A = this chain, B = another copy of it.
Amino acid sequence: MDESGPSGRPEQDDASSHRAVRIQDVAKLADVSTATVSRALATPERVSPEARARVFEAIAKTGYVPNPAARSLRSQKTHMVLVVLPDLSNTFFSKILRGIEERLFEAGYGMIISDLDGTPEKEAHFAAFIAAGRVDGAILLNGHLFGQTRMGGGATDRTGIPLVALCEAIPSADIPQIEIDNRGAASRMTQHLASLGHRSIAYVSGPESNILERERFLGYQDGLKAAGLPFDPGLVLPGDYTIEAGVAAGQNLAARSTRPSAVFCTSDEMAIGLIRTLLSAGLRVPGDISVAGFDDIEFAAVAEPALTTIHQPRRELGQAAASVLIDLLQGRPSPKRIRLDTDLVLRDSVAPPQNMLKAPAKTTRTRAMKPT
């Protein structure tokens, strides 16, 4: 059975040919068929212990690694997951990504990242990516499906891969959502500010169309209402979660003759930019104006003054999303929605208004109320 092989491949087993080891090589060495090798890897319990041992020995000896392209061509599985996010360079996402990567790695999946910086062109590209079957599933952090930018001739393609929405819920889509209770958290922060005595609480928003923004804005209004404060549109400043937006909002406030005594920024970046600008304008924080953030990014704790904010369990969010997706991929049942708890983190950038004494506050955390 060694007549130089049925396909006529000459026997050259020295190092000269750098051809990758194939399953056939392993099979020959272990004196079994390729099918048995394949089974030894996929379903070891269906192979006799002796054959299995020989196969593994041969694999170790040859350093065989299955060719993923061939495997994926045949099995229609890529063991890859696409993560779509609006801005890779944003601090907020990096820790989430890490959580995702951890979990995917454990389950043997690779992570492909797509940063679609607003460009619909890229969006279409990644829709095609999914359609081409390059990934088994996707985690969407961008708040919408690819639906809008429909491809070509309305062909529905095989978009039937599992999807999970992370952070930004996708209302229209019937896919699992992993998120925090944005509305509740925003309400809670607003009420916290009110409880300290603030009567005039400004709000620096996210991008208008953003779902997070809409939730948080509702929460802000809820909080005002709960505290018996009126809603004043003049206290709503536009933003987009960036430091620059915070700076702009700060300039806006600094230029005013009468100012709110507290500002609730819907991102830590904006809060930091805003504080910075207020300080430069000669105002004191929290002496003259209290400032609260959202997210609890790394720098919130070391900002000057340290930022009072809402803590989001970013890593856990990423892990949860990955877990749900993996469940879906492997046909296990999975929850349709997961809401992780947030914490209200009390630091130094918020204090009672005006001339009340500023205690040297230490960081305190208060577990958020579970949403009902």
Contact = CB atoms under 8 A, between A and B. Distances in A.
Nearest to A80: B112
B98 A88 contact: yes
Contacts of A69: 69-70, 72-73, 78, 133
Contacts of A94: 88-91, 93-94
Contact of A88 (B97, B152, B299, B304): B97
Interface string A128-165: 11011110000000000000000111011110100000
Contacts of A276: 302, 304, 306
A186 to B, nearest CB: 23
Interface string A109-122: 01111110100001
A243 interface: yes
Interface residues of A, number: 70
Contacts of A275: 304
Interface of A: 15, 18, 20-21, 60-63, 65-70, 72-73, 78, 80, 87-91, 93-95, 97-98, 101-102, 105, 110-115, 117, 122, 125, 128-129, 131-134, 151-153, 155-158, 160, 243, 247, 269, 272-273, 275-276, 279, 298-299, 301-304, 306, 315
Sorted nearest first, the 5 A-B pairs with minimum C-beta distance are A63-B155, A304-B304, A69-B73, A69-B72, A65-B132
A314 B190 CA distance: 37
Contacts of A87: 98
A89 B96 CA distance: 8
Nearest to A96: B89
B63 A153 contact: yes
A282 to B, nearest CB: 11
B110 A111 contact: no
Given A90-B94, A91-B94, 20 more contacts: A60-B152, A63-B155, A65-B157, A67-B73, A67-B132, A69-B72, A69-B73, A89-B97, A89-B98, A89-B315, A91-B91, A91-B298, A97-B115, A101-B113, A105-B122, A110-B114, A110-B134, A112-B112, A299-B299, A303-B304
Nearest to A242: B298
